[in-house]
């Protein structure tokens, strides 16, 4: 498979769907902020839904992307490698191999 680049907005969308399913709401009710900390936690996100904050680890972000790859792109999520990348111009992106 050719390398697929997932832009930052699509990662945010994937996390919105992921959190909405956990909280039994709609993705439009979820706000997400992606972050990167070079020293400590790497790639993380904060999600806000119904006034509550939820912290997501790198593993959660990958899980959200795997769900999206399977459901919306018909790719086998277990046979793909996903790498989160901090790009100077594009922000946080994901490379799918």
Residue given tokens 């899980």 in the structure block: 63
* CA 13/CA 34 separation, integer angstroms: 11
Tokens of 78: 């277990």
Domain membership flag for residue 30: yes
Residue 50 is encoded by which pair of tokens?
């119904």
1-24 burial string, b = 16+ CB within 10 Å, else e? eeeeebeeeebbbbbbbbbbeeee
* Burial class (CB within 10 angstroms; exposed 0-12, middle 13-18, buried 19+) of 44: middle
Question: Does residue 68 lie in a domain region?
Answer: yes
Residue 67 domain flag? yes
Q: What is the mean pLDDT of residues 68-79?
A: 86
Residue range(s) defining the domain that contains residue 23: 9-78
pLDDT tens string 12-52: 999 999 999 999 999 999 999 999 998 888 999 999 998 99
pLDDT, position 43: 97
- Give the count of domains, the chain: 1
């Amino acid at each position: 498979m050719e390398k697929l680049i997932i832009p930052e907005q699509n990662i945010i969308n994937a996390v919105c769907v992921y959190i909405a399913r956990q909280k039994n709401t709609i993705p439009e009710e979820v706000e997400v902020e992606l972050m990167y900390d070079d020293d400590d936690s790497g790639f993380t996100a904060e999600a806000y839904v119904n006034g509550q904050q939820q912290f997501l680890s790198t593993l959660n972000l990958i899980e959200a992307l795997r769900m999206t790859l399977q459901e919306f792109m018909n790719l086998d999520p277990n046979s793909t490698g996903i790498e989160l990348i901090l790009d100077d111009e594009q922000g946080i992106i994901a490379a799918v191999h």
